[in-house]
C-alpha cells in the first residue's frame, strides 16, 4: 500500500500553490484568494450564483481534520449541526432538518405536498425545485405573475388562496430577480396565510440581505405558525459543491419532511458548515466582495442605459432587450456563462457576481456588445 | 481575512499525525493506517458495516485537490464520473445515475414504484431503504421469508409474482445475513422475472464477493432486461461518510429515476470516487483486511459453538441465542456497538468487520460473555 504525496499537492491544501510555507511552526496568516482553478477551465462562470471565494482556508482545514471520519455515516455529526443551528436560531433542535443542499429540502417539501390533491401557489419566475418535484405527482401549480417591480405579488397570492391550496411558496429575496419584499408586508402576509395553508419561505439569499432589514421568517415558525423556512450554505458560505442546507419548521413537520428526504448531507459538509457558520470574517468578506461586484455591474448598466433591479442577492437581473438565447450564446463565445432563460422574461438576463476581475471582463464584453 | 493554519493540522492531511514530513520533495511512501480518531471516541463501532481503513491517502489527496471547486455545483463532475463508471461497466453513460450514496438510489426507486397501486416483493430481513420509502405512499410490500439457509427465496418470490407486482427487490449479497445466491440461479431468476416485472438488485456488497463467483446483474441490464442494479462507494472504498453510489439501468429508467432524486452527490465525493475507483491497491488491501477480520470472527464462533453464516460481505451474522436488545446492551456497556435488531431473527446479531484490534476486543468480550 504505497501512495506518493507530492509537495505540490501538499501545498494546494489551503489554496496556497506557489507560496513557500515556513517549514517549522506553520502559522502564516493567509489572505483569502480567489480560487485559481475552477471547473470550467478558461471559462468565466457567472451562471449559477456561486461564491468563488469559498471555501475559506479555515473550512478547508476543517474538512481535512474530518478525513478520519469519512468512512463513517454522518448521522451523529448531522445531529450536532442541527443542534448548533437550532441554538443560533433560538428554536428546538427538533425544528431543524439538515439536508443535502437546500434543494433536498425543497424537493422533500415538494414530495410531501405534491401528493395532496390540491394546488401550490407560487410566483413566476422563481426558484423552481419545489414545484418541479411536486409536479411529478400531477400536483397543480397556480402560477402568479410577479408584480410591476418584479417582486412576489402577495396581494394576488392572498386573493387566490383557498381551501384547495396545500401550500404557498415564497422565495425572498427572489431568484432570479433579486428583489426583496418589505419586512412588515411579508410578515403580515405569512402570519395571515399560515392560518389557511402552509407557507414555505425559501431564504437561500437571506445572508446577502441581512443589512437591508430582512427579518427571517423563522420568527413565525417560533411563534407556532404553519411556516417552513429553508436556508443554504451554498451561497455566502461558498459551499455549493459540498451540498448542505437546512429547513426550519415545527417538530411534526420536520418529522414528516425527514421521511421524505433521500440522501441527506455528508460528513465533510457537516464539518465544513460547522466551521463556516462561526467564521464571521469570511462571511463579511464575501458580503463586501459581493457588494463591490454588484456596484461594478450597476455602473455598467447605468452607463449603457440598461434597465435593472436592485439586488439583495449575489446576482443582478437586467434587461438585455434581446432574447436570452441569443444573448447568452454571444457571451459563451466570449468565454462567459450567464444565467439561463427565466420565462416570461426572455429579454432579461441573470448575471451572478464573481471574482472582481471576472465581473470586469463581463462588463467589458457587455459594453462592446452594445457599442 | 486572516486564518491561522497550524503545523499539526497540516500534518493531519493524510493521517500522518506524529510523522515528520521531509521538508523538500515530499514523496514519502505512506502505509495505510487505521484511522486514529473516529466519531465515537473510545467506542468501537461494529454496527454499520463501514470500512475503517478509508479513505485512502490518495483519495484524501484527491479531495484536497478539489477544494478550489467546492464553491461550484457538482453536475459537470457527476457527469464525468458517470462516464467513467459506464466505461468500466461496458454500458452507455445514459445508463448510469450517480446518487448521494446508494441510499438515494434505493429511495428514488421506492418513490418511483411506491406510487403505483401495486406491490413490491422482497425478502425479510434485508436492507429496507427502498421498501420503507415506498411504504410512505401506502405501497404494499409482499414480504417473503428467507429460505432455511438465510438466503433470498427465489422460488417463493417467483411463485408470488403476479401482474399486481410492480417490482421485485433482491439484495445480493444480502444485508444483514451476508448470504449470496448462486450466480446461475440469480441470473435465471432475474431474466425470467424481468419479463413480468422490474427487478432491482442491490449490490452494495458486490465488491466483497467478486472472488466468489458473483456475477453482477449489470450483464442483464446490458442485455436489455427490465433490471436496475445499485452499487455504493460506502463499503470497500471506505467512503460511507462522503455519500456516493450509483444505479445502472436502461436509459429511460435512468431518466425517470433522475427526476425522483433529491440531493445527488457532492463535488468532493465525485473526486474521491474517481480516485478510489482506480486504486486497486487500496481495494485489495480492504478485501484482505476484511477476510482477516472475518476469519477471526469465525474462529471465535467455532470455539464457542455459535451458529453463523458464511459471509460474502464485510459483516458476519451469528446466532447469539439471546434477544439482540439484551445482547447489544451488554456489548454497549463494554464499549462496543453491534448491529441493530433484524426481525424476525431476534436472537441473532450482525457484527461488522473493523480494525483487527477491534475485532480481537470484540471476540474477547464475546468469549467472556459465554464463559
Output the CA–CA distances (angstroms, integers) from residue B108 to A262, B99, B105, B226, B261, in the order listed.
7, 9, 5, 17, 5
Distance, in Å, from the CA atom of B152 to the CA atom of B124, rounded to the nearest integer, reads 8
All cell numbers assigned to B327: 445482547
Average pLDDT over chain B, rounded to an integer: 91
Q: Judge whether A59 lies within some domain.
A: no
All cell numbers assigned to B318: 451469528
Least confident of A28-37, A40-49, A275-284, B126-135: A28-37
CATH of the domain at A291: 3.90.1150.10
| Interval B40-68 mean pLDDT | 94
Q: Do A69 and B35 touch (CB under 8 A)?
A: yes
Q: pLDDT value at position B210?
A: 81
Q: pLDDT value at position B328?
A: 98
In chain B, the percentage of residues whose pLDDT exceeds 90 is 86
Q: Do B68 and A261 touch (CB under 8 A)?
A: no
The answer to whether B69 touches A15, Cβ cutoff 8 Å, is: no
The answer to whether B317 touches B311, Cβ cutoff 8 Å, is: yes
Query: Which residues of chain A have a CB within 8 Å of the CB of B281?
Result: 1-2
Output the CA–CA distances (angstroms, integers) from residue B84 to A278, B75, B77, B271, in the order listed.
38, 14, 11, 12
If asked whether residues B73 and B187 sit together in one domain, one would say: yes
If asked whether residues A147 and A225 sit together in one domain, one would say: yes
The answer to whether B245 touches B223, Cβ cutoff 8 Å, is: no
> Of the candidates A278, A294, A313, which is a domain's last residue?
A278
Q: Do B57 and A239 touch (CB under 8 A)?
A: no
Where does residue A118 rank: exposed (0-12), middle (13-18), buried (19+ CB within 10 A)? middle
Distance, in Å, from the CA atom of A64 to the CA atom of A272, rounded to the nearest integer, reads 10
Q: Is the pLDDT of residue A75 over 60?
A: yes
All cell numbers assigned to A325: 438565447
Q: Do A39 and B76 touch (CB under 8 A)?
A: yes
If asked whether residues A253 and A113 sit together in one domain, one would say: yes
If asked whether residues A171 and A289 sit together in one domain, one would say: no
CATH of the domain at B139: 3.40.640.10
Query: Which residues of chain B have a CB within 8 Å of the CB of A70?
Result: 54-55, 238-242, 272
Q: Do B13 and A15 touch (CB under 8 A)?
A: no
Query: What distance in Å separates residue B1's CA from the closest CA in chain A?
Result: 6
Q: Judge whether B1 lies within some domain.
A: no
Q: Judge whether A126 lies within some domain.
A: yes
Distance, in Å, from the CA atom of A289 to the CA atom of A232, rounded to the nearest integer, reads 19
Cα angle A224, A156, A350; round to 5: 95
Q: pLDDT value at position A34?
A: 45
Q: pLDDT value at position A217?
A: 96
> Of the candidates A221, A256, A278, which is a domain's last residue?
A278
H/E element, A228: strand A227-232
If asked whether residues B305 and B274 sit together in one domain, one would say: no
Q: Judge whether A7 lies within some domain.
A: no
Output the CA–CA distances (angstroms, integers) from residue A364 to A300, A336, B263, in the order listed.
9, 11, 37
Q: Is the pLDDT of residue A48 over 60?
A: yes
| Interval B225-240 mean pLDDT | 98
Q: pLDDT value at position B173?
A: 96
Q: Judge whether A1 lies within some domain.
A: no
If asked whether residues A157 and A265 sit together in one domain, one would say: yes
Q: How many CB atoms lie within 10 A of CB A111?
A: 26
> Of the candidates A236, A254, A278, which is a domain's last residue?
A278
Task: Name residues whose C-beta falls within 8 Å of residue B281's C-beta, 6 or more positions apart in sequence.
Answer: A1, A2
pTM for this prediction: 0.91
Q: pLDDT value at position B1?
A: 35
Count contacts between A and B (CB, < 8 Å). 279
Bridge partner residues of A30 (DSSP): B3
If asked whether residues B152 and B218 sit together in one domain, one would say: yes
- Chain B residue with Cα closest to A15: B68
Residue B90: give the domain boundaries: 65-278
pLDDT digits (tens, 9 = 90+) for A318-346: 999 999 999 999 999 999 999 999 999 99
Distance, in Å, from the CA atom of B362 to the CA atom of B354, rounded to the nearest integer, reads 10
| Interval A121-139 mean pLDDT | 98
Number of domains in chain B: 2
Tell me the ipTM for this assembly. Answer: 0.91
Q: pLDDT value at position B19?
A: 34
Query: How confident is residue A211, by pLDDT bands cut at 50, 70 and 90?
Result: confident
pLDDT digits (tens, 9 = 90+) for A230-271: 999 999 999 999 999 999 999 999 999 999 999 999 999 999
Distance, in Å, from the CA atom of B77 to the CA atom of B69, rounded to the nearest integer, reads 10
Query: What distance in Å separates residue B91's CA from the closest CA in chain A?
Result: 25
Closest CA to A363 of A307, A295, A264: A295
Q: Judge whether A123 lies within some domain.
A: yes
Q: pLDDT value at position A117?
A: 87
If asked whether residues B228 and B128 sit together in one domain, one would say: yes
pLDDT digits (tens, 9 = 90+) for B67-93: 999 999 999 999 999 999 999 999 999
If asked whether residues B48 and B109 sit together in one domain, one would say: no
Q: pLDDT value at position A214?
A: 78
Cβ density class B348-370: b for 16+ within 10 Å, e for less: bbbbbbbbeebbebbbebbeeee
Where does residue A305 rank: exposed (0-12), middle (13-18), buried (19+ CB within 10 A)? exposed
Distance, in Å, from the CA atom of B8 to the CA atom of B238, rounded to the nearest integer, reads 24
The answer to whether A249 touches A228, Cβ cutoff 8 Å, is: yes
Q: pLDDT value at position A32?
A: 46
Q: Is the pLDDT of residue A39 over 50?
A: no
Distance, in Å, from the CA atom of A261 to the CA atom of A1, rounded to the nearest integer, reads 38
Distance, in Å, from the CA atom of A201 to the CA atom of A190, rounded to the nearest integer, reads 9
Q: Judge whether B21 lies within some domain.
A: no
Q: Is the pLDDT of residue A36 over 90?
A: no
Query: Which residues of chain B have a CB within 8 Å of the CB of A103?
Result: 262-263
If asked whether residues B314 and B342 sit together in one domain, one would say: yes
If asked whether residues B249 and B350 sit together in one domain, one would say: no
Query: How confident is residue A35, by pLDDT bands cut at 50, 70 and 90?
Result: low
Query: Which residues of chain A have a CB within 8 Å of the CB of B260?
Result: 136
Closest CA to B250 of B80, B82, B91, B90: B91
Distance, in Å, from the CA atom of B12 to the CA atom of B161, rounded to the nearest integer, reads 54
Q: Judge whether A6 lies within some domain.
A: no
Least confident of A8-22, B144-158, B161-175, B232-246: A8-22
Q: pLDDT value at position B15?
A: 44
If asked whether residues A214 and A354 sit together in one domain, one would say: no
Amino acid at each position: 500500500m504505497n501512495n506518493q504525496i507530492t509537495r505540490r499537492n501538499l501545498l494546494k491544501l489551503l489554496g496556497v500553490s506557489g507560496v513557500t510555507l515556513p517549514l517549522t511552526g506553520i502559522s502564516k496568516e493567509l489572505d483569502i484568494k480567489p480560487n485559481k482553478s475552477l471547473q470550467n477551465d478558461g471559462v468565466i462562470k457567472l451562471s449559477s450564483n456561486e461564491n468563488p471565494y469559498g471555501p475559506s482556508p479555515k473550512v478547508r482545514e476543517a474538512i481535512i481534520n474530518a478525513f478520519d471520519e469519512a468512512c463513517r455515516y454522518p448521522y451523529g455529526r448531522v445531529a450536532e449541526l442541527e443542534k448548533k443551528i437550532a441554538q443560533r436560531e433560538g428554536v428546538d433542535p427538533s425544528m431543524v432538518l439538515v439536508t443535502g443542499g437546500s434543494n433536498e429540502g425543497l424537493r422533500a417539501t415538494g414530495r410531501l405536498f405534491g401528493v395532496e390533491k390540491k394546488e401550490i401557489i407560487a410566483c413566476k419566475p422563481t426558484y423552481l425545485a419545489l414545484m418541479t418535484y411536486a409536479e411529478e405527482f400531477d400536483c397543480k401549480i397556480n402560477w402568479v405573475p410577479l408584480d410591476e417591480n418584479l417582486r412576489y405579488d402577495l396581494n394576488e397570492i392572498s386573493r387566490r388562496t383557498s381551501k384547495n391550496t396545500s401550500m404557498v411558496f415564497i422565495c425572498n429575496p427572489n431568484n432570479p430577480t433579486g428583489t426583496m419584499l418589505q419586512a412588515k408586508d411579508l410578515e403580515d402576509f405569512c402570519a395571515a396565510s399560515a392560518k389557511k395553508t402552509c407557507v414555505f419561505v425559501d431564504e437561500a439569499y437571506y445572508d446577502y440581505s441581512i443589512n437591508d432589514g430582512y427579518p427571517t421568517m423563522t420568527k413565525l415558525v417560533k411563534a407556532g405558525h404553519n411556516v417552513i423556512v429553508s436556508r443554504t450554505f451554498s451561497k455566502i458560505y461558498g459551499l455549493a459543491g459540498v451540498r448542505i442546507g437546512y429547513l426550519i419548521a415545527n417538530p411534526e413537520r420536520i418529522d414528516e419532511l425527514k421521511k421524505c428526504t433521500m440522501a441527506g448531507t455528508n460528513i465533510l459538509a457537516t464539518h465544513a458548515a460547522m466551521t463556516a457558520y462561526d467564521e464571521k470574517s469570511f462571511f463579511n468578506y464575501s458580503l463586501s466582495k459581493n457588494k463591490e461586484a454588484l456596484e461594478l455591474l450597476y455602473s455598467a448598466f447605468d452607463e449603457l442605459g440598461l434597465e435593472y433591479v436592485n439586488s439583495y442577492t449575489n446576482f443582478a437581473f437586467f434587461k438585455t432587450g434581446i432574447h436570452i438565447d441569443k444573448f447568452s450564446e454571444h457571451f459563451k463565445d466570449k468565454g462567459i456563462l450567464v444565467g439561463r432563460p427565466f420565462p416570461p422574461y426572455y429579454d432579461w438576463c441573470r448575471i451572478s457576481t464573481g471574482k472582481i476581475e471576472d465581473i470586469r471582463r463581463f462588463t467589458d464584453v457587455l459594453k462592446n456588445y452594445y457599442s
